[in-house]
Amino acid sequence: MDTKELLKKVRKIEIKTRRLSDHVFGGEYHSTFKGRGMTFSEVRQYQFGDDVRSIDWNVTARYNEPFVKVFEEERELTLMLMVDVSGSELFGTDTQFKNEIITEIAATLAFSAMQNNDKTGLILFSDQVELFIPPKKGKSHVLRIIRELIEFQPQSKKTDIAEALRFLSNVMKKKAIVFVLSDFITENYSETLRIAAKKHDVTGIRVYDRREETMPNLGMVQMEDEETGELMLVNTSSKGVRNNYYSFYRERVDEFNEAFMKSGAGVLSCRVDESYVKKLLGYFKRR
């Protein structure tokens, strides 16, 4: 992709997602995530009606009259976008590929954070961490994130969400708002998710295509695994083959829902031919 075409794509996504974040998501994002932490502000003299649990006993003993600790909401938050760039994201049977919808959702969240004067960071992952952009503020930083989401070429096509979550836990020492965007057609990440969710406010956004849910009856078909490149001849007219595929797919979906819910994290599923705007708004309001 040449520079002119890339800038055109960035601008197109900026116009669409900036409008959404300004008019729809900005307030919802702020009201959902504001005040997630409390920081110490000052010590002042006790006043009638103050909670006795806030009394600072050391200062009270020193001055022989009651003083209380005052805390205030942490206004500055950090948003971390964890985006799956493995081969299975390059799939779509309707108007857009999964990775295109993921890019739009990530951009909308990033602009919402920018509007709230929060930092935004990015982790692109396959079965390894492909790119890490540390959290920063500002429009130019958000536009850099969008450029990477559009043009980045990963070294691997495979997926390992657990590896990405381990990296997150190592690099992010303070609590962050974390969105993991993937199709979650993978396994064995529930334990690392549980550890990450203890420290961070984590939400998993599963982006999928309706044609992935069931295998159509098309007879003998040569198929390629997007993540391994393996070619195989599949008898799609076999009911047993179709049932096995459906069982495999449902196991991945069930693992996604169960792993995130058990860890106390949020869950959201968006189909590529549905409005992610309604899905995100509904999720924010439930929060």
Helix 139-151 and helix 3-20: axis angle, to 10°?
Answer: 120
Please state the rounded mean pLDDT for residues 46-66. 88
What's residue 232's pLDDT?
Answer: 80
Query: pLDDT tens, 260-269?
Result: 999 999 999 9
> Among the listed ranges 14-28, 43-57, 58-72, 239-253, which one has the minimum average pLDDT value?
14-28
Residue with token string 């309707």: 94
pLDDT on residue 37 = 56
Task: Mean pLDDT check: name the lowest of 14-23, 122-131, 163-172, 186-195.
Answer: 14-23
Q: For the chain, which residues make up each domain, given as ranges? A: 3-32+75-286, 38-73
Q: What is the per-residue pLDDT for 23?
A: 61
Residue 15 has pLDDT above 60, yes or no: yes
Q: What is the dihedral of CA 11, 15, 16, 20, to 10 degrees?
A: 140
pLDDT at 92 > cutoff 60: no
| Mean predicted confidence (pLDDT) in 232-244 | 82
pLDDT at 224: 67
pLDDT (mean) for 21-33: 67
Domain 3-32+75-286 -> CATH class: alpha beta
Q: Encode pLDDT of 124-172 as tens digits.
A: 999 999 999 999 999 999 999 999 999 999 999 899 999 999 999 999 9
Geometric angle at alpha carbon 173, from 116 and 109, rounded to 5°: 30
The mean per-residue pLDDT over the stretch 80-94 comes to 80
Q: How confident is the model at residue 90 (pLDDT cuts 50, 70, 90)?
A: low
Residue 270: per-residue pLDDT: 93
Q: State the DSSP string of 94-152.
A: SSS-HHHHHHHHHHHHHHHHHHTT-EEEEEEESSSEEEEEEEE-SHHHHHHHHHHHHH-
> Reduced to 3 states, what is the DSSP secondary structure of residue 56?
coil
Contact 215, 243 (CB under 8 A): no
- Over residues 241-255, the pLDDT tens digits come to 888 888 888 999 999
**Rounded average pLDDT over 205-217:** 85
Place of tokens 């961490």: 129
pLDDT of residue 190: 96
